Chains A and B, each alone.
Chain A
Amino acid sequence: MTNKTTPYAIELRDISKRFGAVQANKDICLQVPAGTIHGIIGENGAGKSTLMSIIYGFYEADTGFIEVDGKRVDIRSSQDAINAGIGMVHQHFMLVENFTVLENVILGAEGGAILKGGIDTARVELQRLAQEYSLDIDVDAIVEELPVGLQQRVEILKALYRGARILILDEPTGVLTPQEADHLFRILKALKEQGVTVLLITHKLREIMASTDNISVMRQGQMVAHRETAHTDKEELAELMVGKKVRLTVDKDDAKPSGTFLSARNLSQFDSQGVKRLKNVSLELRAGEILGIAGVSGNGQSELLNVLAGIEPMSEGEIHIAGQVITAKAPKDAAEMRELKMAHVPEDRHKMGLVTGFEAYEAAVLGYHNSPVYNGKILMHRKVMIDECNERMAAWDVRPPNPHLKTANFSGGNQQKIVIAREVEQNPDILLIGQPTRGVDIGAIENIHEQIVKLRDSGKAILLVSVELDEIMALSDRILVMFDGAVVGELDAKDADERTLGLMMANAYNDEEVSA
């Protein structure tokens, strides 16, 4: 960099960060010219948020350093970052919900020991900012009473109030309606015109293409490509993001779907804040068929699984299964759903699928602990459980094959095998399966995929939720794409390719078709 003309607004040099065994960031280099909007894309878990948190001083990098305006800065805390003119809008908002907008904005920048002065200054300053960037907001409103879009505006105001010249936004549109998102991009543009540098993380290619100047792509903790927005397209980006992973070919014949085991109609669900997380989803699970649900995570897939499995009650809609109708008024819990021959491999094995403090043989009956097979009149049949666990460990090649090992002490892949074996071996009619190969190595992936196909071929109905496009395409017979809680498209697996799916997942497919 001897002949650089203007220094970069921010430059990262060889940043690495490791969480325990996870290498979240590895040797990351990044240069962002001042006054540009720089997009960063990458799959879930690629390390984007970690990188931004390092820039913002929330985490400290293990190695590497950061330059701002050509000067090396030592960022050890958020305070350092703020002093260096960096502001961040986090993926999960960092707001004190029962504070007013004003209080949230001045928190940490109160301008004196007594609040009054700071509040008055902030009121005036916020008015100015609001006018300048059309960031209108009622500064005396309580934050938790504001819609998400406005809460995000508070985050932006927070950064600007502190005089941020570099603004990081981590998936800012994940929670926004299209209109709100449009408004946000107009604001970003206005900021850019004032010379603010913006780092924008998003999964939505349409947004990236529409609003950025440059784009960097991350994969598995590394920076894999940099592009100028003008010289790239969605297809290329999608490919860069997904990477040239080993193509997993699963040997399978065409599906021969027969009867319907489950049909769901207009399922909706509101979360505790009253936000609609699942929007009128209808689907059918047919014997001998794998139905894949594709989508960027956080678009309602988890809610769908939970509602189908009976873990969370639905708010609206109905499920028909085994001659029974389940509605919001007549719900069934997870145990009752299992009795209807439905099995469920949850997305998150640590949080849900396993009790990591249990020995393997105990975890291997979770959810089926009431089964007469394992229970005597009073005591549980430990021996039966252990024997069965031994058998399954052999059959599924769980290593080490030790039923008494604490579940926590198995590797991710082997934990997953324990869970899948438990659910599959119950011989269910329906198997709900979420992220079956998340964090599982290639050998195990193959094994798991084979089992899923085998299950289909024996006439089971399978619902597969995965954020891995490869996996969806390799396994599914039919694919639904979810976006923002709703099903936005349905494809026959034969018609699916990465490009189409990638676009649908980013909800950019229809724009594309219209423009094409």
Chain B
Amino acid sequence: MFETLILMLDATMRVSTPLIFAALAGLYSERAGIVDIGLEGKILGSAFAAAAAASVFDSAWIGLCFGITASVALAMIHGFACITHRGDHIVSGVAINTIVAGLTVTLSMYWFGMGGQTPTLSGDARFLSITLPFADALADVPVLGLIYSELLSGHNILVYLAFAMVPMTYWVIYKTRFGLRLRAVGENPHAVDTAGISVAFIRYRALIICGILCGIAGAYLSTAHNAGFLKDMSAGKGYMALAALIFGKWRPVPVLLACLLFGFLDAVAVRMQGVVIPGIGEVPVQAIEVLPYVLTVLLLAGFIGKAIGPKAVGRPYVKERA
């Protein structure tokens, strides 16, 4: 039982990783006042770019760079529309998601001719798991050994990075000058402007960070968790991250917990296909899959607390009425 739980949590860590990156990406963006339903598109775009580059250069790191570049470029399109041209954040996000869904398939078809996939990656083209020191030696120590060797050890570097990003984000958001301005610009851009700070510049920087994090999320999908790009491989993770962001009320640590919860549900659902639980019968996997979305709706409706986002989120900043 305990072992099953550990293994389930182990899977949770792997599955949650892209959610954590993406949700933190959303956190930077929305804390700065930019709604980003384009997380999905950025993840997908990066997954493709990373896998393509990794397979061409046979290096996961180069893949990661390309993934991040693609994702940041998409974020800049979003910024160009929403910050520079005061466009609707949601329309822009939908546009980006749509473009990427089509473009990744088109380009991969052209480059690799494999029906919208990239070649299978192996060796250096992938992020492989890291065994923490003494993991094997300690594996037999009861309880702690298992936790250390199974749960904590044996993930790839991006998984550890995701978890490290949470305290990092907390620190950036709450303890640095940039974070202070970022939060301020999402609450009251006028206050930031009159304090002599450029609203647009801060928002662009927030979007760059958002792009970088989504880029890592995408690269993780195609070069770490999987071994190549597949059409639509983001499979709603961007929206799920958005849900986690709302669920975590735009704060790093609760967002992490929301991602872990969603990841855990996913890990459970993977193993529930066709499983008959004595006394209950077969629990439909769909019921578990759908929980994050249902929970988010309930939260938004105020049934389980109130989700109040940054005040100025989604509103273009216009200085002059003219």
Q: Do A and B bind each other?
A: yes
Q: Which residues of A contact B (CB under 8 A)?
A: 19-20, 56-59, 77-82, 88, 90, 94-99, 103-104, 106-110, 112-116, 118, 158
Chain A interface helix/strand/loop/mixed: loop
CB-CB under 8 A from B322, the residues of chain A are 19-20
Interface residues on B, range: 20 to 34
Closest to B310 in A: A98
CB-CB under 8 A from A115, the residues of chain B are 174-177, 179-180
With A19-B322, A20-B322, A118-B177 as known contacts, state yes or no: A107 contacts B187, CB within 8 Å. no
Say yes or no for B5: interface residue by CB 8 A criterion. Answer: no
- Assess the A19–B188 pair: CB atoms within 8 A: no
- Kindly identify which residue among B175, B183, B319 contacts A58, using a CB–CB cutoff of 8 Å: B319
CB-CB under 8 A from A104, the residues of chain B are 191
With A78-B195, A115-B175 as known contacts, state yes or no: A96 contacts B320, CB within 8 Å. no
Interface centre among B181, B190, B196, B322 (most CB of A within 10 A): B196
Say yes or no for B193: interface residue by CB 8 A criterion. Answer: yes
With A19-B322, A112-B177, A114-B177 as known contacts, state yes or no: A58 contacts B184, CB within 8 Å. no
Total A-B pairs, Cβ < 8 A? 82
- Assess the A97–B195 pair: CB atoms within 8 A: no
Closest to B321 in A: A19
A77 to B192, CA, bound (A): 12
Closest to B186 in A: A96
- Kindly identify which residue among B174, B176, B195, B320 contacts A107, using a CB–CB cutoff of 8 Å: B195
Chain B interface helix/strand/loop/mixed: helix
A82 to B184, CA, bound (A): 19
A147 to B322, CA, bound (A): 33
- Assess the A94–B180 pair: CB atoms within 8 A: no
- Assess the A19–B320 pair: CB atoms within 8 A: yes
- Assess the A107–B178 pair: CB atoms within 8 A: no
- Assess the B184–A113 pair: CB atoms within 8 A: no
Closest to B181 in A: A107
- Assess the A82–B196 pair: CB atoms within 8 A: yes
- Assess the B175–A96 pair: CB atoms within 8 A: no
Q: Beyond A58-B319, A97-B188: 20 further Cβ-contacts under 8 Å? A: A19-B322, A57-B196, A58-B193, A58-B194, A59-B320, A82-B195, A90-B194, A96-B184, A96-B187, A96-B191, A103-B180, A103-B184, A107-B195, A107-B197, A108-B195, A110-B180, A113-B176, A113-B177, A114-B176, A158-B195
CB-CB under 8 A from A80, the residues of chain B are 196
- Assess the A110–B188 pair: CB atoms within 8 A: no
A113 to B178, CA, bound (A): 7
A157 to B175, CA, bound (A): 22
A462 to B204, CA, bound (A): 53
- Assess the B178–A108 pair: CB atoms within 8 A: no
- Kindly identify which residue among A81, A96, A97 contacts B196, using a CB–CB cutoff of 8 Å: A81
A80 to B197, CA, bound (A): 11
Q: How many Å from the CB of B49 to the closest CB on chain A?
A: 31
- Kindly identify which residue among B177, B191, B194 contacts A110, using a CB–CB cutoff of 8 Å: B177
- Kindly identify which residue among A57, A79, A94, A98 contacts B190, using a CB–CB cutoff of 8 Å: A94
